[in-house]
Amino acid sequence: MIVTPLTELLGIRVPIVQGGMQWVGTPPLAAAVSEAGGLGILTALTQPSPDALRIAIRETRKRTSKPFGVNITLLPSINPPDYAGYASAAVEEGVRIFETAGNAPGQLIKYFKSHNCIVLHKCTTIRHAKSAARLGVDVLSIDGFECAGHPGEEDIGGVVLLARAAQELNIPFIASGGFADGRGLAGALALGCAGINMGTRFMCTVESPIHQNIKEKIVASTEQDTVHIFRTLHNTARVFKNKVSAEVVAIERRPGGAKFEDVRELVSGQRGRLVYENGDPDYGIWTAGIAMGLINDIPTCEVLVKKMEKEAEDIIGGLGKMVRTQSKL
């Protein structure tokens, strides 16, 4: 067994978290990850209302008695969702582990901490990690440039970012972005992380709610099949490379650039959702990371988590044997 500050804090067996995923982080997946020994996370905004989130929490609890969490992602938005309503619904339903992500999380973190909750905060820079630590979060989830979704604008890959986190942070942190196997888990632990967070790898499991065609597309794809959109709008997102994302990038590169209005229809969240429902990978924008290059199968969460745990244990044991007290040379 691998014991880290994360497994001890959350009461889980394996230091693997399934990060919040819009349209994907639903009760079947979150419960399966938690049952497998990791931390499953429901994505609040995938539910149409705080009441629907209550139902999703109850459904997850029917499927597992193990700890699971709820993600609340603060998005730049003209008409923001009812974040406070989602947060209080989850707390009232007895959830005590939260993953926060996005801009200006202070109020939300304060609310969760005043209800004795454990907060994992997702961030992409050491500066943001330090300010979240000052706000009292328990664990930082550090997304490197490799990650699916929003890597920030500084383009620092995980190896340097996590080593910097080890130098600068005084609270446990986990590695996120590009992790999909036991090698990655062992590597993250070696860098000083208390565990890892995975998105793309968990999308491609039996219990993930997305269409089988999309899971098979992930298996068939490589680390070269993602692209960054919204670079010119300073809201970079790593998404699957398809006809729609290519069109968005082309519009962004037009002389004079692009405004959000110019791409609004192409990037609509509802179109992205239909990709997962109908299985057409070219229908809209959908989030995926370069971890696709490491994904060659569609296992159950239990098989995946067990395999990663065993692989990481074997690697850590093997590394121990590299250290000798006396050289034969």
Ligand X SMILES: Cc1cc2nc3c(=O)[nH]c(=O)nc-3n(C[C@H](O)[C@H](O)[C@H](O)COP(=O)(O)O)c2cc1C
Q: Contact residues for ligand X (CB under 6 A)?
A: 19-22, 24, 43, 71, 73, 101, 122, 143, 146-149, 176-179, 197-201, 203, 287-289, 291
> What DSSP state is assigned to residue 157?
-
CA 308 remoteness from chain centre = 17
Q: How far is the CB of 277 from ligand X (least distance, A)?
A: 13
Q: CA 240, CA 23: separation in Å to the nearest integer?
A: 15
Q: How far is the CB of 256 from ligand X (least distance, A)?
A: 31
- CB-wise, 194 or 203, nearer to ligand X? 203
Instruction: Write the CA distances from 211 to 24, 56, 74, 267, 281, integer angstroms.
Output: 10, 20, 27, 19, 10
Tokens representing 4 are: 């880290």
Q: How far is the CB of 125 from ligand X (least distance, A)?
A: 14
- CB-wise, 262 or 311, nearer to ligand X? 311
Q: How far is the CB of 18 from ligand X (least distance, A)?
A: 8
Q: How far is the CB of 320 from ligand X (least distance, A)?
A: 27
Q: How far is the CB of 70 from ligand X (least distance, A)?
A: 11
- CB-wise, 19 or 37, nearer to ligand X? 19
Residues 6+ apart with CB under 8 A from 230: 236, 237, 248, 252, 267
Q: How far is the CB of 17 from ligand X (least distance, A)?
A: 9
Instruction: Write the CA distances from 319 to 87, 190, 308, integer angstroms.
Output: 43, 10, 16
- CB-wise, 122 or 217, nearer to ligand X? 122
Q: CA 296, CA 284: separation in Å to the nearest integer?
A: 23
- CB-wise, 169 or 262, nearer to ligand X? 169
Tokens representing 59 are: 């459904």
> Which of 246, 264, 48, 74 is closest to 150 using CA atoms?
74
Q: CA 287, CA 237: separation in Å to the nearest integer?
A: 8
> Which of 103, 296, 138 is closest to 218 using CA atoms?
296
- CB-wise, 66 or 201, nearer to ligand X? 201
Task: Give the SS3 label for residue 71.
Answer: strand
- CB-wise, 86 or 179, nearer to ligand X? 179
Q: What is the CA radius of gyration of the chain?
A: 19
Q: How far is the CB of 93 from ligand X (least distance, A)?
A: 20
Q: Which helix (H) or strand (E) is 227 found in, with range?
A: strand 226-229
Instruction: Write the CA distances from 265 to 11, 45, 118, 247, 270, integer angstroms.
Output: 43, 20, 37, 12, 10
Neighbours of 291 (CB within 10 A): 25
- CB-wise, 252 or 276, nearer to ligand X? 276
